Structure 1
Amino acid sequence: MWILKKANHNKKYLESYRKTLRENLTPAEAFLWKQLQHRKFEGRKFRRQHSIENFIVDFYCAKEQLIIELDGDIHNNPLAEERDKKRTEKLEALGFKVLHFENKMVFDFLPSVLKEIADNFKKQ
């Protein structure tokens, strides 16, 4: 079930910014991307730095309507936390499931991170 029309994904005016973000992944994003790219993870296709409406999300799986966000130290302040909360609420109101992981979790507990991602796949 597609809640958003295709036109609301990867808007042209965000294209150069998305490309810059893809070329400059954080270490945690690059580490997780190695697990997700090329349908390596349970055959699911993930995109990195994908835009939905005016938001650019770290990773997106269209089949699962699943968004994965990695949060570094920049997210650890009240203003950023409130902004992230509102962003997540808006994306969830559009029908997406949003998972947040701290960068440290990706490095220190990758199997647990991958299990949580898989646990949020829709049952087929």
Structure 2
Amino acid sequence: MNQESNKWKHEKLAELLKENARRMRKEPTEAEEKLWQVVRNRKLAGFKFRRQHPFEGFIIDFYCEETKLGLEVDGKIHLQPAQLEYDQQREAYLNEFGIEIMRFTNEEVERNVFAVARMIKERLLERRKNLPSPLPLSRGRGASTKE
């Protein structure tokens, strides 16, 4: 029963996280909306981003699965010591999954979204270059290796 109860709690928390992500997608900050207009629909060097992406109990503002790069657009609350510590712990946890987080303030995005986009693009290209290549597909039993 305890294992079943834990499973139910985990599923409930995952659903609440998804609902929260949906709500956040519908109510972005001005800076988030401005950055979204630059990265959506593969506009930034062909990379696909997800907005308000739930991952392991957290929501990443923008996430590129191909390069495992997350983007966070931070308001002033992120300057408070307790929030800074939380953000550092969260980032360290996400790093364990190979996810790198780039942080920008609302002001940086609002003042010059294109400079922010350039920095993101450079990092995306760098990460794509440095990520391990996927394993080649198996040809299957009896498949010819001649071209």
Length-normalised TM-score, structure 2 = 0.74
In the alignment, residue 35 of structure 1 is paired with which amino acid? Answer: V
Partner of 2:6: none
Partner of 1:39: 42
Count of residue correspondences: 114
Gaps of at least 5 residues in structure 2 are 1-13, 131-147
1:69-108 → structure 2 map (5 Å cutoff): 69-108=72-111
Identity %: 36
Gaps of at least 5 residues in structure 1 are 1-10
2:121 aligns with one of 114, 118, 121: 118
Superposition misfits of 4+ residues, deviation over 3 angstroms = none
SS for the counterpart of 1:88 is helix
Shift in Å at residue 21 of structure 1?
0.6
* Structure number with larger C-alpha Rg: 2
1:9-88 → structure 2 map (5 Å cutoff): 11-88=14-91
Shift in Å at residue 123 of structure 1?
2.2
Task: Answer yes or no: is the 8 Å Cα contact 2:34–2:113 preserved in 1.
Answer: no
Length-normalised TM-score, structure 1 = 0.87
Higher mean C-alpha displacement, 20-29 vs 104-113: 104-113
Shift in Å at residue 94 of structure 1?
1.2
In the alignment, residue 108 of structure 2 is paired with which amino acid? Answer: M
Shift in Å at residue 13 of structure 1?
3.7
In the alignment, residue 121 of structure 2 is paired with which amino acid? Answer: A
Shift in Å at residue 58 of structure 1?
0.2
Q: Distance in 2 between matches of 1:93 and 1:113?
A: 25
* RMSD (CA atoms): 1.3
Q: Distance in 2 between matches of 1:82 and 1:109?
A: 27
Q: Which has the higher helix share?
A: 2
Q: Distance in 2 between matches of 1:112 and 1:123?
A: 22
